[in-house]
Structure 1
Amino acid sequence: MKNNPSEGIQTLTIISELCTGCMKCVRGCPVEAMRFRDGLPFVKWEKCIHCGECIKACDAIQPLTTSFLELSRFKYTIAIPSPAFVGQFEKHITPSHTFFALKSFGFDDVVNLAPFCSAYFKAVKFIVAESDIPKPVISSMCPVVVSLIQTKYPSLIEHLLPIMPPRQLAAKQVIDSLVKDGVYKKEEIGVIYITPCISKMIEVKEFSEESYIHGAIAIKHIYNEILKKIKP
């Protein structure tokens, strides 16, 4: 597990034209990373844990997510939707409906994350029961928790679970399978995570050499279009 780099990782942008100077973003930041200077907010990235509280507080703060135009960088693209993605829709809209709609955005394949979540939790139980990892054990699934520990509580880093979160496990398996079959080279495959949380961009930016995920798209940016494309 890497320590948080001193320069920080940028996961949001500030639209100065929308800023009214209300300072809601500053008051909403739990780690005092959001500051004000010359009438405009700015971020001390080395303090930021990418929790998104400033985005909730003010429309002038927007997440930096992947554009669909970036899919053209790859010969084969895969979408991995968060389990929360499927839960956004009414009961009569099945995962199959939403996955089919995602393909219409230009993805070649959509991977169901549920089996990988099950495998992850089985691995967690085994590690907690059988390994000598310091207790209490802290899940590494949430990048916000990992960032908080790295920036505020570094003594707890050794308590973080040393296994990939389900999204990375899924991406690795799909990429390895395609490369093994000789269908595509690793650099020709792009994996995009569909997420409700901007913090997943940390994995793409901070761990670019280690991550099997190449981008993240916010659910809210595609939700309405998905609804239009679904034909239950």
Structure 2
Amino acid sequence: MPHGIEISGESCRGCVNCIKACPTEAMRVIRGRLKIIAERCIACGECFRICRHRAISLKESEWASIADDRSMLLVTDPALCTQFSWPPDPGILEDILRDIGFDPVFDDTALAFDLAAMAQARSIEGDDTRELPMISTYCPSVVRLVQIRFPELIPNLSPVESPLETSIDLWRTRHNRYDVPSALVAPCPARIAMVNKPVGREASSIDHVVSTARVAKEILSRNYAPSREQAIPKANSRWVNWSASGGEAVHVRLFENRPLKTLAVSGMRSVIGILQDIELRRLKGVDFIEARVCDMGCIGGIANAESSFLSRLKVENYGFARETGKERMAELEELYRAGIWRVQQQARPIEQIPLGKDEAKAMGKLSDL
């Protein structure tokens, strides 16, 4: 199911709150049954948030099939690092995941996020023909929202691939192994949709998706207690900032050659508002927009286990290293020239579903809607 959620017909009470909450009118009652129009769904999870009857759930991979595969590569959204009582350092989480039996690709993940930030800064500074402000494509729901409701803003979308996809691409290129299965730990249905039906590439590099809450539950059940030595900030932990609103924009500015003006917005209403402002050309002088449909960023995703407020507090109070050494910059320069960071295909507008040329059939479809 490409949109990352599924409906339980038995639990649905017909309250239509989900229909009211959907920003793209993707929810419909057709012949007495609630359905999702996949072509219009942006996988934002607003329907999930508002449903009181638990009739909507995530469509994630079976945990058993992932946990039992000891060769499984694991790439995690930064939000996973913020779900526990200890500091949000990826080094701590990496040790725990290896102890469970996974192979987390955190070194490649840190490199991919650095590369994405650098590529976005250079795309803004080095292309005078680019439409500004550039809109981040890190949130898949924002990309789909632009495709459906703001297609004229597609030229503003960042040409940079999701660093989560690039993480797996980097690992497989380095090790020349393309047969090893991979899984993504996702904080929202948009990340599930990113794997099942990606935008900007023919197929995802990731094979399976499991929710942040499910992995957090597994970790918490084992009663891990990291030592103080493990909680020392690591140089490769900058990418965790992307979990909270504003983190990506800060990371992009680390690679600026001229002062970049950036804005960070989160929450569905704010995102729609900022896209309308761009559409009306009210944001002259702004270079980059970091947009997330979840309040506070990815830590506000519906598939998380921890309070988004506590997650934000952990991110703000943790001393992430900002300096990029010479060796790191040399490695990033090489990868930048190789173009591994670039999306394979430009996003395209998603057109309205036609009712049909036959008047009788068109009226029938209209009555269903």
| TM range, smaller chain | 0.7 to 0.9
Aligned length: 219
Structure 1 distance, partners of 2:133, 2:183, is 32
1:222 to 175, 192, 215: 215
Per-residue deviation, 1:189: 1.4
TM-score by length of 1: 0.83
TM-score by length of 2: 0.54
Q: Which residue of 2 aligns with 1:151?
A: 148
Per-residue deviation, 1:94: 4.6
In percent, how many aligned pairs have the same letter? Answer: 27
Whether the 8 Å contact between 1:133 and 1:159 is mirrored in structure 2 is yes
Q: Which residue of 2 aligns with 1:192?
A: 183
Structure 2 distance, partners of 1:222, 1:177, is 27
SS at match of 2:206: coil
Structure 1 distance, partners of 2:104, 2:4, is 26
Q: Structure 1 residues 163 and 47 mapped into 2: Cα distance closer, same or farther (>3 Å)?
A: same
Per-residue deviation, 1:93: 6.9
Q: Which residue of 2 aligns with 1:62?
A: 57
Q: Which residue of 2 aligns with 1:165?
A: 162
1:27 to 1, 7, 20: 20
Per-residue deviation, 1:199: 0.4
1:48 aligns with 2:44: no
- 1:87-106 equivalent positions in 2, closer than 5 A: 87-92=82-87, 94-106=89-101
Per-residue CA distance 1:128-151 (angstroms, 9 max, x = gap): 011132222111111101101111
The aligned amino acid for 2:25 is E
1:16 aligns with 2:13: no
**Which has the greater radius of gyration?**
2
Per-residue deviation, 1:164: 0.9
Q: Which residue of 2 aligns with 1:127?
A: 123
Q: Structure 1 residues 57 and 212 mapped into 2: Cα distance closer, same or farther (>3 Å)?
A: same
Whether the 8 Å contact between 2:105 and 2:168 is mirrored in structure 1 is no
The aligned amino acid for 1:148 is L
Q: Which runs of 5+ in 2 are unaligned?
A: 227-369
Whether the 8 Å contact between 1:196 and 1:218 is mirrored in structure 2 is yes
SS at match of 1:84: helix
SS at match of 2:114: helix
Structure 1 distance, partners of 2:148, 2:69, is 34
Q: Structure 1 residues 197 and 127 mapped into 2: Cα distance closer, same or farther (>3 Å)?
A: same
Q: Structure 1 residues 21 and 72 mapped into 2: Cα distance closer, same or farther (>3 Å)?
A: same
Runs of 4+ residues over 4 Å off in structure 1: 72-75
Structure 1 distance, partners of 2:92, 2:221, is 11
Structure 2 distance, partners of 1:148, 1:9, is 15
After alignment, is 19-28 or 106-115 more displaced?
106-115
Q: Structure 1 residues 68 and 81 mapped into 2: Cα distance closer, same or farther (>3 Å)?
A: same
Structure 1 distance, partners of 2:137, 2:10, is 37
SS at match of 1:194: strand
The aligned amino acid for 2:6 is T
Q: Structure 1 residues 92 and 157 mapped into 2: Cα distance closer, same or farther (>3 Å)?
A: closer
Whether the 8 Å contact between 1:76 and 1:108 is mirrored in structure 2 is yes
Per-residue deviation, 1:74: 7.2
Structure 2 distance, partners of 1:95, 1:169, is 18
Whether the 8 Å contact between 1:143 and 1:200 is mirrored in structure 2 is yes
Q: Which residue of 1 aligns with 2:112?
A: 116
Structure 1 distance, partners of 2:160, 2:207, is 19
1:202 to 176, 189, 193: 193
Per-residue deviation, 1:79: 0.8
1:231 to 218, 225, 233: 225
Structure 2 distance, partners of 1:99, 1:164, is 24
SS at match of 2:57: strand
Q: Which residue of 2 aligns with 1:5?
A: none
Structure 2 distance, partners of 1:53, 1:104, is 35
